[in-house]
């Protein structure tokens, strides 16, 4: 199923907050996760965590389900159809693409690494500039 994050959320190696996070996903990012959440550390009275195919965990408290997986009996294979003129245009600019996912490689524990072939989207320049501006304001406060 697909989930969307309602706030910037840490990526964890287990269903708890122990140790350094692998990185984080931005608010609005969508991630494919396994159908059933797992029980883990309780945060704000919520013990449910989502896990993706990499074995990475995301706390469910600030996420929503966007696309649940169909039940096995409901699964239907639809053949690829030729593109029609009424199809929406494909994104051509970075700003038209989905929310980015950022992995902080310096926060990776020494015994873990990002799997080969794994792809990460780079944050939009505007988002990076806003984050830098917030950081600079926090220094001057």
pTM for the full predicted model: 0.50
Residue 19, C-beta contacts closer than 8 angstroms, at least 6 positions apart: 12, 13, 109
Q: What is the pLDDT of residues 1-25, one digit of tens each?
A: 899 999 899 999 999 988 888 888 8
Task: Give the span between the Cα atoms of 43 and 46, in whole angstroms.
Answer: 5
Residue 40's pLDDT is 93
- Stronger pLDDT, 84 or 46, i.e. the higher one: 46
In this prediction, residue 47 has a pLDDT band, given cuts at 50, 70 and 90, of very high
Mean pLDDT of the region 23-44: 90
pLDDT for residue 84: 56
Give the Cα separation of 50 and 30 in Å (integer): 12
- Average pLDDT, stretch 67-92? 58
Contact 114, 105 (CB under 8 A): yes
């Amino acid at each position: 199923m697909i989930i969307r994050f309602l706030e910037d959320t840490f990526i964890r190696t287990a269903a708890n907050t122990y140790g350094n996070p692998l990185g984080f996903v931005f608010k609005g990012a969508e991630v494919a996760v396994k159908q059933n959440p797992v029980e883990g550390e309780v945060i704000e009275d919520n013990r449910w965590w989502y896990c993706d195919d990499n074995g990475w965990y995301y706390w469910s408290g600030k996420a929503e389900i966007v696309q649940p997986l169909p039940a096995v009996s409901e699964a239907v294979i639809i053949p690829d159809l030729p593109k029609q003129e009424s199809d929406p245009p494909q994104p051509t600019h970075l700003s038209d693409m989905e929310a980015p996912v950022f992995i902080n490689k310096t926060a990776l524990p020494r015994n873990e690494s990002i799997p080969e072939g794994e792809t990460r989207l780079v944050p939009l320049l505007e988002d990076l500039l806003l984050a830098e501006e917030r950081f600079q304001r926090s220094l001057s406060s």
